[in-house]
Chain A
Amino acid sequence: MPNSYTTKLNTATGKVDLSHGGGGRAMAQLIDELFIKHFDNDLLRQRNDQALFTVPAGRLVISTDGHVISPLFFPGGDIGSLAVHGTVNDVAMSGAKPLYLAAGFILEEGFPLADLEKIVISMAAAAKRSGTPVVTGDTKVVERGKGDGVFITTTGVGIVPEGVNISGDRAQPGCAILLSGSIGDHGVAIMAGRENLQFDTTIVSDSAALNSLVADMVAAAPADIHCLRDPTRGGLATALNELAQQSGVGMIIDETQIPIKSEVKAACEILGLDPLYVANEGKLVCICTADAAESLLAVMRQHPLGRDAAIIGEVISDEHGFVQMTTAFGGRRIVDWPVGEQLPRIC
């Protein structure tokens, strides 16, 4: 039987206080009237400290991701939708079908309940769209000044289909490198939302769950996909360097083949950033056999999240593990690991 409370949770003008994390009735009410209300699903409604479900025999993947983004609301998304997409994508990059999510909220005392509700509604919508319900969770409240509004950690589990063997150490010389769409949208959208950077832009974050795109790709060429990686923090350059290092190979990419929106290019030019290092939250890099590249590209382009997909380069053997780029100018350069953060806290 659900608890009954004398007054409803004030999501109009109320604020998070320490009692919301104290384990008492106030916390139960927050869970009931905010989290269960919006995340609504059978497993969560059981109100257990864990979610129990049956999985088919096979290989299970698990991934976790902490989200500490500033600002919490940005063009094209918010910390709630991002917390779902980030983890769904990390699970999907193994080729898996993501099944369920768990969410941990760290709330700062004084955080407006209206904002929290907006975040939870957005998160619930993202979970629904991606078919990965939030089935268990946790809430903690920290004193004012010890958090930054809200931090969300999500953990996801998924099942890897038979015959799929995707891992960052499987890039081989001769493989093709595919990219699902334009780079840098998320990072630039976040920057435009920062108060100390005064510029207006129409760019919105690309934050999206990629599991349905991955499902289409895996269904089309299960054995040909060697690596998948979502180029989030550190951008495309970092993702490629990670894969090159894990696999002990080099790469050569062609700058003219990398899709970048002109608004993103312009913003990067003004801010002195290299779009190759700017974060994405709805893109993936795929390394596959050269033979399958064209057909896989066609499959990606059929999907709304892969419409602008392109073959951007190939894996080569290189004892140094360099990622090189033929520049649009006609020269050649290294695309190195990034140094430090181009921006603090973008995911």
Chain B
Amino acid sequence: MKYISEFRQQDLAQQLSRAIVQTVDPDRHYRLMEFCGGHTHAIFRYGVQDLMPDNVEFIHGPGCPVCVLPTGRIDNAIQLAERPDVILCTYADLMRVPATGRNSLLKAKAGGSDIRMIYSTQDALKIARENPDKQVVFFAIGFETTTPPTAVAIKQAQAEGLANFSVFCNHVLTPAAMQAILDAPQPVAIDAFLGPSHVSTVIGSWPYEIFAERYAKPIVIAGFEPLDVMQSALMLIRQLNEGRHEVENEYSRAVTRQGNQKAQALVNEVFELRPQFEWRGLGLIADSALKLKAGYADFDAEQRFNMPAIQASDVKGCECPAILRGAKKPQDCKLLGTVCTPENPMGSCMVSSEGACAAYWSYGRVRG
């Protein structure tokens, strides 16, 4: 398959593996945080760790949008879906995320709520057009990658006068999360970052430059294919060996320094910063999420339905928060595999295929 299989070739993987073994300093331990769930998934799915020397450790980062969404926001969505006049549209990943009281969107759907799994924001608009007597709410989540399509949908709805459409906005920002990890009161030992790939196609690589500079951490923008991950790891190891800390771009086939400025303009037109937003694992982070601008407030579900802020607590013993910060690994959690499994997730990291716990449980357990 053109442009996919090229980035999964075994012979190249072996070459890279040898290059990494030759490059690492055997007396040093390398702690590389792969920021995105997409990286985590690739590492486990393709068995990348098997091709790395023992002293190169991947620390799983918070870049899984489903994982960082706090329980209260899922509770909000369920409350909304329970209204008889509402059709809630959501990406499928969110369906099984645990809400308060062992609830989930999947269970709410079984209980009679009209919840539709969609593949794109355009599907939500279509549902809104076809159901003029219903309120159609799109449960918008994701980092900068999924924000532009939400902006497009909102602008389209405004242009069409689609008054029964609104967006429950949970879009969050990657650099803010990276900053929160680096500024944590008890920071996790991280030597370098594999930087976001799809997010960076939109925002570019420049927003990370400040972290490379101020925190002296090498960052390599890394694609999601397994060869991308290995190549990026090699680039980070070289930077560490040479004492450099720069932003380098391994994913140059898709990412530029400036990013997709058209998409950025669209996002800036529709959205503005929230003063703060709660992240699972990272707590309240200032300027870390988006909300609809005043000019689009008519399409803001939080305002239309007067949605309350819900403070919900996570399941006791669930280590998702520490795992999302990189402070713990899935196998450090006592719930893993005992009460928390993909079939019966206690925390969000066990739900999404990008979640560290799900990736570890589904692909990596054999290593013990």
Q: Are A330 and B51 in contact (CB under 8 A)?
A: yes
Please tell me the number of chain B residues within 8 Å of chain A, measured between CB atoms: 30
Q: In the complex, which residue of chain A has the Cβ closest to the Cβ of B342?
A: A339
Q: Bound state CA distance, A330 and B48, in angstroms? A: 8
A-binding residues in B (CB < 8 A): 1, 4, 8-10, 13-14, 17, 44-51, 96, 118-119, 123, 226, 342-343, 353, 361-366
Q: In the complex, which residue of chain B has the Cβ closest to the Cβ of A265?
A: B1
Q: Does chain B have a CB within 8 A of A340?
A: yes
Mark each residue of chain A from 303 to 347: 1 if its CB lies under 8 Å from any CB of chain B, else 0.
Answer: 000000000000000001010101111111110100110000000
Query: What A residues does B10 contact at CB under 8 A?
Result: 256, 328-330
Q: Bound state CA distance, A331 and B96, in angstroms? A: 29
Q: Are B1 and A266 in contact (CB under 8 A)?
A: yes
Q: Are B365 and A330 in contact (CB under 8 A)?
A: no
Assess A331 versus B48: contact at CB under 8 Å? Given A265-B1, A339-B343, A340-B96: yes
**CB-defined A-B contacts under 8 Å, sample of 30:** A196-B118, A196-B123, A197-B119, A256-B10, A269-B1, A322-B365, A326-B47, A327-B47, A329-B8, A329-B9, A329-B10, A329-B47, A329-B226, A330-B10, A330-B13, A330-B14, A331-B48, A332-B47, A332-B50, A333-B47, A333-B363, A333-B364, A333-B366, A334-B362, A334-B364, A334-B365, A334-B366, A336-B362, A339-B342, A339-B362
Q: Does chain B have a CB within 8 A of A13?
A: no
Query: What B residues does A54 contact at CB under 8 A?
Result: none
Query: What B residues does A328 contact at CB under 8 A?
Result: 8, 10
Assess A333 versus B4: contact at CB under 8 Å? Given A322-B365, A328-B10: no
Q: Are B46 and A329 in contact (CB under 8 A)?
A: yes
Q: Are A262 and B1 in contact (CB under 8 A)?
A: yes
Q: Are A324 and B46 in contact (CB under 8 A)?
A: no
Q: In the complex, which residue of chain A has the Cβ closest to the Cβ of B14?
A: A330
Q: In the complex, which residue of chain B has the Cβ closest to the Cβ of A266?
A: B1
Nearest Cβ in chain B — how far from A35, in angstroms?
36
Q: In the complex, which residue of chain B has the Cβ closest to the Cβ of A197?
A: B119
Q: Are A336 and B47 in contact (CB under 8 A)?
A: no
Query: What B residues does A327 contact at CB under 8 A?
Result: 45-47
Q: Are B366 and A322 in contact (CB under 8 A)?
A: yes
Q: Are B13 and A334 in contact (CB under 8 A)?
A: no
Nearest Cβ in chain B — how far from A270, in angstroms?
10
Q: Bound state CA distance, A235 and B48, in angstroms? A: 24
Query: What B residues does A334 contact at CB under 8 A?
Result: 362-366
Query: What B residues does A336 contact at CB under 8 A?
Result: 342, 361-363, 365
Nearest Cβ in chain B — how far from A9, in angstroms?
35
Q: In the complex, which residue of chain A has the Cβ closest to the Cβ of B351?
A: A339
Known: A333-B363, A339-B96. 12 other contacts (CB 8 A): A196-B119, A197-B119, A256-B10, A326-B47, A329-B46, A329-B48, A330-B50, A331-B49, A333-B47, A336-B342, A336-B361, A340-B343
Give the interface centre of A327, A329, A331, A340 by most chain B CB atoms within 10 Å.
A329
Q: Bound state CA distance, A322 and B366, in angstroms? A: 8
Assess A331 versus B51: contact at CB under 8 Å? Given A269-B1, A336-B361: yes
Q: Bound state CA distance, A336 and B365, in angstroms? A: 10
Nearest Cβ in chain A — how far from B19, in angstroms?
14
Query: What A residues does B50 contact at CB under 8 A?
Result: 330-332
Q: Bound state CA distance, A340 and B9, in angstroms? A: 31
Q: Bound state CA distance, A48 and B141, in angstroms? A: 59
Query: What A residues does B49 contact at CB under 8 A?
Result: 331
Q: Bound state CA distance, A320 and B367, in angstroms? A: 12
Q: In the complex, which residue of chain A has the Cβ closest to the Cβ of B4?
A: A269
Nearest Cβ in chain B — how far from A70, in angstroms?
14
Q: Bound state CA distance, A272 and B50, in angstroms? A: 24
Nearest Cβ in chain B — how far from A273, in angstroms?
10
Q: Bound state CA distance, A315 and B265, in angstroms? A: 56
Closest CB pairs A-B (n = 9): A331-B47, A339-B342, A329-B46, A331-B50, A333-B363, A330-B10, A336-B362, A332-B47, A333-B47
Q: In the complex, which residue of chain B has the Cβ closest to the Cβ of A318?
A: B366
Q: Bound state CA distance, A197 and B123, in angstroms? A: 9
Q: Bound state CA distance, A333 and B47, in angstroms? A: 6
Nearest Cβ in chain A — how far from B327, in angstroms?
25
Query: What B residues does A262 contact at CB under 8 A?
Result: 1
Query: What A residues does B365 contact at CB under 8 A?
Result: 320, 322, 334, 336
Q: Bound state CA distance, A326 and B13, in angstroms? A: 14
Q: Bound state CA distance, A262 and B4, in angstroms? A: 11
Query: What A residues does B123 contact at CB under 8 A?
Result: 196
Give the interface centre of A266, A332, A339 by most chain B CB atoms within 10 Å.
A339
Q: Bound state CA distance, A326 and B51, in angstroms? A: 12
Q: Bound state CA distance, A340 and B343, in angstroms? A: 7
Q: Bound state CA distance, A322 and B367, in angstroms? A: 11
Query: What B residues does A322 contact at CB under 8 A?
Result: 365-366
Query: What B residues does A320 contact at CB under 8 A?
Result: 365-366
Query: What A residues does B343 contact at CB under 8 A?
Result: 339-340
Q: Bound state CA distance, A330 and B13, in angstroms? A: 7
Nearest Cβ in chain A — how far from B361, in angstroms?
7
Query: What A residues does B4 contact at CB under 8 A?
Result: 265-266, 269
Q: Bound state CA distance, A326 and B342, in angstroms? A: 23
Q: Bound state CA distance, A245 and B49, in angstroms? A: 27
Nearest Cβ in chain A — how far from B223, in angstroms?
14
Q: Bound state CA distance, A196 and B119, in angstroms? A: 8
Give the interface centre of B13, B48, B119, B362 by most chain A CB atoms within 10 Å.
B362
Q: Bound state CA distance, A324 and B9, in angstroms? A: 20
Assess A331 versus B46: contact at CB under 8 Å? Given A339-B342, A339-B343: yes
Q: Bound state CA distance, A32 and B8, in angstroms? A: 58
Nearest Cβ in chain B — how far from A12, in angstroms?
30
Query: What B residues does A265 contact at CB under 8 A?
Result: 1, 4
Mark each residue of chain A from 257 to 276: 1 if its CB lies under 8 Å from any CB of chain B, else 0.
Answer: 00000100110010010000
Q: Bound state CA distance, A327 and B50, in angstroms? A: 11
Q: Bound state CA distance, A141 and B343, in angstroms? A: 36
Query: What A residues does B366 contact at CB under 8 A?
Result: 320, 322, 324, 332-334
